Structure 1
Amino acid sequence: MSSPDARGNGPVMQLLASGLQLWIRQQCQAIGSLDIQLEGSALQLLRGRLTGVQLLARRVVYRDLHLELVELRSGPIQVHIGNLLKGHPLQLEHAFQIQGQVSFTPDGLTRSLSAPIWRSLGDNLSEELLGIAPLVELRMHRDSLVFTARGLGARDLVELETSVAAVEGSVEIRSRAGNVSSRLPMDPGITIEDARLEGGMLQLLGIARVSV
């Protein structure tokens, strides 16, 4: 279920809320639930400007990343309101910045790193941290993220408890013993400001630039 909300509840804001909701869904492979709230006035919107958007989504699949929870807030957005009023799809004028948090369950992480597009990343992490690949599974144990792998032709699983931290705009995964670590490659448009294991999930907080 989705519930777009626009402060002031005017018809133009409602139209934009629905158009923005559709645009967000088109960017994702799947969304379980989506709630958005627009910030700004109808007068600003008629001038092609929106102060910002708050978004809360659950069970999102984006580029084969399985996200349990997405909480985002955007900066100012330029919109082409004329075409929207004529019944055309929403068009955003320029790139804009978002900040917020995404959360992965262990199962979501495993499914993400099992997808063809991310499998090499999962295996590289496994190789760097455990010395073997492929990666089999990730799970949470207390306040640790546990990597599980099995070498090719081997019968026994190898496990390693790790912690996570934000380091230089990326996510660093380090063994609890501190003797091995690996840092995730990051898109230049994304900066991770905090990474933590909390509530049975991996939570990443940061900022990103969205191209249109």
Structure 2
Amino acid sequence: MADDADSQRSSPVLQLLASGLQLWIRQQCEALESLELQLHGSSLGLLRGRLEGVSLVARRVVFSSLEFEMVELRSDAIQLQVGNLLRGRAVQLDHPFQISGYVAFSGAGLSRSMCTPHWRPLGDQLVDGLLGLMPLQNLSIERDRLVLQAQDRRCETVPRAVNGALELCSSEGGPCVALPADPNINIREANLEGGLLQLHGSARVSP
């Protein structure tokens, strides 16, 4: 990591690309408290259209009305065209690439997210499947349980990664509800730790 950081600081092309990527990421988010970005590769490799990867750590992110407490990602090698970059234009990606890492959500952040118009239907779908009631009133994390409430009733659930998707199962032996799966996202592990819902996995990003 130190070698990559030194290379990035000493290379005007990598610095330019890093600045462009940071600006692009911030423009995609409704809010972003902090962002650390690390490029892996060399100027020569970049001029040949190949970046060995990108690592990022972001905190307190809001993307598509969904609040993330923490995001840590690392990409595989990326093929790109740098001609536009050198002319002050946006970088053009040539091929899909993989990213892996983890995201973490707080209970308060999830509760606020599920109350937005974008995510409310999903929140209602969850409590309907778990409690047979709607709408979702609150979502919280209590110890090692994800707790959903509707009409003064509550259901303690345990998150699980099942076939690449997230599933919530009642801790009292009740029903399980699977969240809609995205074929480009593979969730390998889901757990509750330190008051956060943590999801580990990978995703395929297409230009």
TM-score category (smaller protein): over 0.9
SS at match of 1:134: coil
Does residue 148 (structure 1) correspond to residue 149 (structure 2)? The answer is: yes
- Cα separation, partners in 2 of 1:169 and 1:163, compared to 1, 3 Å: same
TM-score (ref. length: structure 1): 0.91
* Residue 96 (structure 1) aligns with: 97
Structure 2 residue runs without a partner (length 5+): none
Residue 194 of structure 1 contacts residue 204 of structure 1 at CA under 8 Å; is this kept in 2? yes
Conserved? CA contact 2:131–2:155, under 8 Å: yes
Query: Equivalent residues in 2 for 1:50-129 (5 A)?
Result: 50-129=51-130
RMSD of aligned alpha carbons: 1.2
User: What is residue 196 of structure 1 aligned with on the other side?
Assistant: 191
Distance apart, 1:6 and its partner CA: 4.4
CA–CA distance in structure 2, aligned partners of residues 101 and 75 of structure 1: 15
> Which has the larger displacement, 201-210 or 89-98?
89-98
Amino acid at match of 1:49: R
* Contact 2:167–2:177, Cα closer than 8 Å, also in 1: yes
Structure 1 residue aligned with 2:21: 20
The answer to whether the 8 Å contact 1:7/1:40 transfers is no
Partner of 2:43: 42
Structure 1 position 109, deviation (Å): 0.7
User: Partners in 1 of 2:193 and 2:206 — Cα distance?
Assistant: 30
- Counterpart residue identity of residue 72, structure 1: L
Closer/same/farther in 2, CA of residues 63 and 33 from structure 1, 3 Å limit = same
Distance (whole Å) between structure 2 residues aligned to residue 110 and residue 91 of structure 1: 37
Larger CA deviation: 134-143 vs 92-101 = 92-101
* 1:185 has 2:186 as partner: no
User: How far did residue 114 of structure 1 move?
Assistant: 1.1
Structure 1 SS opposite 2:83: helix
Is the Cα–Cα contact under 8 Å of residues 130 and 174 in structure 2 kept in the other structure?
no
Match of 2:153 in 1: 158
Normalised by the size of structure 2, how large is the TM-score? 0.94
SS in 1 for 2:62: strand
Q: Verify the 8 A CA contact 1:55 1:72 in the aligned structure 2.
A: yes
SS of alignment partner, residue 116 of structure 1: coil
Mapped to 2, the partners of 1:29 and 1:104 lie a distance apart of 16
Which stretches of structure 1, 4 residues or longer, exceed 3 Å deviation after superposition?
Answer: none
* d(CA) in 2 for partners of 1:28, 1:185: 22
Match of 2:163 in 1: 168
The one-letter amino acid paired with 1:121 is L
Cα-to-partner distance string for 1:140-176 (whole Å, 9 max, x where unaligned): 11111111111xxxxxx11111111101111111111
For structure 1, list consecutive stretches of 5 or more residues without a partner in the other structure.
151-156
